[in-house]
A and B are shown apart, each in its own frame.
Chain A
Amino acid sequence: GNSVTQMEGPVTLSEEAFLTINCTYTATGYPSLFWYVQYPGEGLQLLLKATKADDKGSNKGFEATYRKETTSFHLEKGSVQVSDSAVYFCALRPEKLVFGKGTKLTVNP
C-alpha cells in the first residue's frame, strides 16, 4: 500500500536557522508528492509539489526534490523565519492523498 513517513516533531529552531524535515514514502507506481502547511488557526494549504522523479518543488523559500532512488521528498529552507512556524505535512497521491502525521515547527526570534 501507499504510506508516508515523516520526521516527527516538534522541531524548534532559531530564526535564520537551516530547516530540514525528512519525508520518505512507500508507493506503487509513480505518485505525485506534496508538502502541505497548516498555519495556526488556518486550514491546510499546498506549499509545494513535485510530479515526477528529480522534479524540485519550491515556494516561499522552501524546496523539496523528488528522489525516487531513496523514495524521499525532504523539505528544506535555508533561513527560517518566525512566520514559518506551522505544522508541515508530507503527502503523496496516486489517486487519494496519503498524509504523514505532520511535523510541528516553532521558530523563535
Chain B
Amino acid sequence: GAGVSQSPSNKVTEKGKDVELRCDPISGHTALYWYRQRLGQGLEFLIYFQGNSAPDKSGLPSDRFSAERTGESVSTLTIQRTQQEDSAVYLCASSLVPGAYEQYFGPGTRLTVT
C-alpha cells in the first residue's frame, strides 16, 4: 500500500515569506508526527497529532510554527515569516495508534530559506 507522502519535496523561499508543508499519512493511521532535521543535526520532534488534536506541541520552536490536521488524515505544517535558521528537512511520520512501536516516515520536504 501507499506509504507516507509529503509535498513539496523541495521548497526554496525568501526570508520573511510563509510556507506550507503537507503530509499525507498512511490511510488509517491515527497518529501523525512532524520532525525537523537540520544539516548535521539529529531529528528534532516538533508536534504530534492524535486524530485531529495535538496533545504535544512541545517541539514547535516558536509561534511562527503551527500545524493542523483535518479528517484524521492530511496535516499541514505552516511556517510564517520564514528565517534562514528554518532551513531544514521536515519529516512527517505516522503510526497506526499513538505509542505504536513503528513510525513510518515520509521522504521529507527540504526547505531552503534564502
Contact = CB atoms under 8 A, between A and B. Distances in A.
B45 A96 contact: yes
A95 B98 contact: yes
Interface in A80-109: 89, 91, 93, 95-102
A43 B108 contact: yes
A49 B101 contact: yes
Nearest to A102: B42
B25 interface: no
Contacts of B107: 42-43
In this complex, the interface size class of chain B, counting residues with CB under 8 Å from chain A, is 20 to 34
Overall SS of chain A's interface: strand
28 contacts: A43-B4, A43-B106, A43-B108, A44-B43, A44-B91, A44-B93, A44-B105, A45-B105, A46-B102, A51-B101, A89-B43, A95-B48, A95-B56, A95-B98, A95-B99, A96-B33, A96-B45, A96-B48, A97-B33, A97-B35, A97-B45, A98-B45, A99-B43, A99-B44, A99-B45, A100-B42, A101-B42, A102-B42
Interface of A: 4, 32, 36, 42-46, 49, 51, 89, 91, 93, 95-102
